[in-house]
Every structure is written in C-alpha cells, then in structure tokens.
C-alpha cells in the first residue's frame, strides 16, 4: 500500500516502488527534457521520469547548456514520440505545453497540465535567449520541487 502525502500524491519509496512520471510537450526538445532531467537528478530515488513529444524535434542546445549550468547533463537525451509510450502505464502525465493542444494519454493515472513558455520561441542574441531559457528552467524546477518534492 502506498501512502499519500499532504497533496494526495502517493509517496514513492514507502514500498521501494518508484512512481513513473511522463513529461510531454510538442517537440520534446526543451521543457519536457529539462523536466525529465531535473526530476531524475533531484528525485530519482522516488520517481522515474520520462519525456516525449507529440511532434519530436531536435534537442534544444540552449536547454542543454542551461541544465549543465546546474550540474545536470541532458546532452545524451534523445527525442521520443509520445506513441513510443502507448500502453505504458504512468502514474502521472504532465503536459508542459503552452497554448497548444494537450495530448490524450489513456495510460496515466493522473494528468496535470502546467504551462511553461516554449524556449524554441525565444529569439534574439544568445545572451537574451539563455536568459529566457534560465527563467523557464527555474520555473520548471521550482514547480517540480513544489509538486513532487513534498514528503
């Protein structure tokens, strides 16, 4: 039996069973990749995080750099199509898309939609793009801490 925490989330680790989280965005290039990397690095003892996209693109190099700056290497991540997870049960699906159509995923026990800005829409100098990616990364990390870090 898993015991829910104060927010109603099952506490992984009570029976040494990790909860599975799938982060989804359109291109699986920035937001979902950062969320997967951060969750596994910070809470890997309690969660197995994955990411996918509805239209997978190319891994965003600015997201890779922003994560490396906080000691998390996502450079080896690859983009995955959401269909690769068809039939794979997940405890939580988190759609991190902003203003797009959220996917239907029938194999998740709980679905959360949390909008974050799309780093692929940032344009200007490298310094300004990185500033925007830092804000997005920090927003994602803070939300994950608040949502999944509570025991």
Show the domain range for 67.
19-117+124-146
- pLDDT per position as a tens digit, 49-95: 999 998 898 999 999 999 999 999 999 999 999 999 999 999 999 99
Asked whether the predicted pLDDT for residue 42 surpasses 80, the reply is: yes
| 60, part of any domain | yes
Q: Domains in the chain: how many in total?
A: 1
Asked whether the predicted pLDDT for residue 11 surpasses 70, the reply is: no
Round to whole Å and give the CA distance between 5 and 21: 16
| 54, part of any domain | yes
| 6, part of any domain | no
| 9, part of any domain | no
| 7, part of any domain | no
| Residue 2's pLDDT band (cuts 50, 70, 90) | very low
Residues 6+ positions from 20 with CB-CB distance below 8 Å? 47, 48, 49, 50, 89, 90, 91, 92
- pLDDT per position as a tens digit, 93-139: 999 987 656 667 788 999 999 999 989 888 889 999 999 999 999 99
Structure confidence at residue 129 (pLDDT)? 93
| 12, part of any domain | no
* DSSP state for residue 101 in the 8-state scheme: P
| Residue 16's pLDDT band (cuts 50, 70, 90) | low
| Residue 1's pLDDT band (cuts 50, 70, 90) | very low
Give me the active site residues, please.
25, 97, 102
Round to whole Å and give the CA distance between 99 and 92: 20
Structure confidence at residue 121 (pLDDT)? 87
| 11, part of any domain | no
User: In this structure, what CATH number is given to the domain that contains residue 64?
Assistant: 3.40.50.2300
Asked whether the predicted pLDDT for residue 35 surpasses 60, the reply is: yes
| 82, part of any domain | yes
Structure confidence at residue 97 (pLDDT)? 82
pTM (2 d.p.): 0.86
């Amino acid at each position: 039996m898993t015991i829910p925490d104060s927010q109603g989330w099952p506490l992984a680790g009570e029976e040494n069973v990790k909860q599975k989280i799938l982060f989804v965005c359109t291109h699986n290039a920035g937001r979902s990749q950062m969320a997967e990397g951060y969750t596994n690095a910070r809470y890997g003892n309690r969660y197995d995080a994955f990411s996918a996209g509805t239209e997978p693109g190319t891994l965003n190099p600015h997201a890779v750099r922003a994560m490396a700056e906080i000691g998390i290497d996502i450079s080896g991540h690859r983009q995955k199509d959401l269909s690769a997870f068809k039939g794979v049960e997940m405890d939580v699906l988190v759609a991190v898309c902003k203003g797009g159509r959220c996917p239907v995923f029938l194999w998740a026990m709980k679905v959360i939609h949390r909008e974050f800005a799309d780093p692929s829409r940032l344009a200007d100098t490298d310094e300004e793009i990185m500033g925007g990616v830092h804000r997005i990364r920090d927003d994602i990390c803070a939300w994950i801490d608040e949502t999944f870090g509570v025991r």
